[in-house]
């Protein structure tokens, strides 16, 4: 909404500057051109009033807590519009008097009137210059805000792209680590299976023979117990090796 209001402001500043310049030119123009200029100024004054109405509608849509600044600006623009209408009326009156004097054979241009016209023209030009400067300042500020927004969007886009690249790299590393761990687990399972079969094959006969002939001495029991204990320790070592490798990967 504020962007629409600022757009109307810029249009109003440009239009009122043109009106001020034309009002100042009216006294110096030939009669035919003066008539055309007066009609042109009347048309532009109507356009300026329409812009004020549009700005007023925009201000009414602003939340009450943020409306104060815009309301002050609207009051200033309305005062400026009233001053333009007053100046235009004076210019039209002077134009009518000049036409009447020409018809009566009297130009009616005294030195005092000329000085008054010069002062009025100077004031109008100064107001026009201030309005143009204000409009230019608004345009510069709007451009700066737009540039900052574009820079922020570009910076955010670079962050998103870097995050995507890191996610792709992480996904590839996880896939590779998963394949390596799967292969290691399979190799360890095969190795443990072979060791278990070897131990069972080598000692099953001994256990059966000892039980059959009753030669199951305490010494023999301790020997076989130690062998199976070593086998269990070996299994635990393989498991710990796999866990340590997994921790280094992740």
Range of the domain at 76: 2-164
pLDDT by residue, tens only, the chain of 250 residues:
567 888 999 999 999 999 999 998 888 888 888 888 889 999 999 999 999 999 999 998 888 888 888 899 999 999 999 999 999 888 877 655 454 444 444 444 555 666 666 677 777 777 877 787 777 678 767 777 767 777 777 777 888 788 778 877 776 776 676 676 677 667 766 776 676 666 556 555 555 554 454 444 555 666 666 766 776 787 787 788 777 777 765 5
Whether 94 and 183 map to the same domain: the answer is no
- Could you give the CA distance from residue 127 to residue 80 in angstroms, rounded to a whole number? 9
Domain end point (choices 164, 195, 214)? 164
Length, in residues, of the chain? 250
Whether 108 and 183 map to the same domain: the answer is no
Neighbours of 35 (CB within 10 A): 14
Whether 65 and 133 map to the same domain: the answer is yes
Neighbours of 124 (CB within 10 A): 22
What global pTM score does this model have? 0.40
CATH classification at residue 49: 1.20.58.400
Mean pLDDT of the chain: 75
Whether 174 and 59 map to the same domain: the answer is no
Helices (H), 61-110: 68-104
């Amino acid at each position: 909404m504020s962007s629409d209001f600022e757009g109307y402001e810029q249009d109003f500043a440009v239009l009122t500057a043109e009106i001020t310049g034309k009002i100042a030119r009216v006294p110096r123009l030939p009669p035919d051109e003066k008539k055309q200029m007066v009609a042109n100024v009347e048309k532009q004054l109507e356009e300026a009033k329409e812009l004020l109405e549009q700005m007023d509608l925009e201000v009414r849509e602003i939340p009450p807590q943020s409306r104060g600044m815009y309301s002050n600006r609207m009051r200033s623009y309305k005062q400026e519009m009233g001053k333009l209408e007053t100046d235009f009326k004076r210019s039209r009156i002077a134009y009518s008097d000049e036409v009447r004097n020409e018809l009566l054979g009297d130009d009616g241009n005294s030195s005092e009137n000329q000085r008054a016209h010069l002062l009025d023209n100077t004031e109008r030009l100064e107001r026009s210059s201030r309005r143009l400067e204000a409009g230019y300042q608004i345009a510069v500020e709007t451009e700066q805000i737009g540039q900052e927004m574009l820079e922020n969007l570009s910076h955010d886009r670079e962050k998103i792209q870097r995050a995507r690249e890191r996610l792709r790299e992480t996904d590839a590393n996880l896939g590779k680590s998963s394949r390596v761990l799967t292969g290691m687990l399979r190799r360890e399972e095969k190795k443990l299976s072979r060791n278990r079969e070897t131990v069972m094959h080598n000692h099953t006969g001994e256990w059966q023979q000892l039980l059959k002939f009753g030669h199951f001495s305490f010494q023999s029991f301790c020997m076989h117990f130690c062998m199976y204990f070593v086998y269990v320790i070996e299994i635990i070592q393989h498991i710990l090796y796999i866990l340590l490798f997994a921790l280094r990967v992740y």
